[in-house]
Amino acid sequence: MATDPSRSGRSPHRARRMRSAEPYFYLAPGIAIVALVMLVPLVVGVSFSFQNYVIFRPASRGWSGLENYVELWTDRTFWHALGNTVKWTFWSVLFQIGLGLGLALILDKPFWGRPVFQSLVFLPWAVPTFLSGLNWQWLFNPIVSPLPSWLAFVGILDAPRNILSDPDLALYGPITAMIWWGVPFFAITLLAALRSVPSDLYEAASIDGASAWQSFRYVTVPFLLPMMTITILLRTVWVANSPELIFVMTEGGPAGMSQTLPNYVFTSAYSSMNFGYASALASVLMVMLVIYSILLLWVRGRLGQ
């Protein structure tokens, strides 16, 4: 039974405020845990970027303002790593979504042996990335693998050689491994989206005389678009932040030619022990990915209208 505010001694205005604030009391523990687990490490990490924080020089530690960011602006390695990060992310995600969509369309149709084929398609996703890197490192070795000879035979290479030791081609080795490893994620998510498309829409399109391409363009794509946008967003962030395959296959070499920003962050932090500069690099990468995410979600909102 509701308590009469006049009998409890509280004014009606105060009682209304208490009722309005009540949900926030229940949410407060959850908000506090999220803030503790996510926001505090983020703020601490960003704060390092404004400090002169080198492990080997503890006496010089202190606030340095924008010094790390100014150094970053004139750092040629940073700009080279940034360009490689864009290249690495773009080609990896582009081929993953193309091949993942193709596999999802194939797996959406019934055929003999589909469960076995589906299991084989999803297998790379279950392989740890470090193991995938080692496998592809072995595959690009012309001494123990026939792959370089095949690439030379079809004209991609001028001779059977290890592209991981070629400064111009080294980055494409980890990109190939990343495509192979990430295609199942797109295939799984897009296959789930394909199976949510009502079959009566295809029947109506067929009755109206729509071709296979027109059914795909005007029925399938609009249903896939929201899922594709979220999947592209997630994969872009994951790929751009992923240093494992490059670290295992090339270690950023030869001569830093396959270095990406996550690898540069790692080497700045744990080789140079310069945590302040590494935090500045990581902060810049984070800001760029946040801007990219906002733009992609804005485009998705515009397309959904």
Determine the pLDDT at residue 5: 52
pTM beyond 0.75: yes
pLDDT, mean over the chain: 87
CA–CA dist 98, 254 (Å, integer): 30
**Is 23 in a helix, a strand, or coil?**
helix
Of residues 124, 135, 131, the one with CA closest to residue 164: 135
Q: Is the peptide bond before 110 cis (omega within 30 degrees of 0)?
A: no
Q: Measured on CA atoms in the order 126, 89, 277, 167, is the torsion positive or negative?
A: positive
DSSP letters for 76-93:
HHHHHHHHHHHHHHHHHH
Which residue, 96, 266, 86, 67, is CA-closest to 178? 96
> What is the predicted pLDDT for the residue at 110?
86
Tens-place pLDDT, residues 195-236: 888 888 888 888 888 888 888 888 888 888 888 888 899 999
Residue 151 neighbours by CB distance under 10 Å: 18
Read off the pLDDT of residues 240-282 as tens digits, 9 standing for 90 and up. 998 889 999 998 888 888 999 999 999 888 888 888 999 999 9
Confidence label for 1 from pLDDT (cuts 50, 70 and 90)? very low
Torsion angle, alpha carbons of 170, 172, 178, 181, to 10: -100
pLDDT value for 10? 61
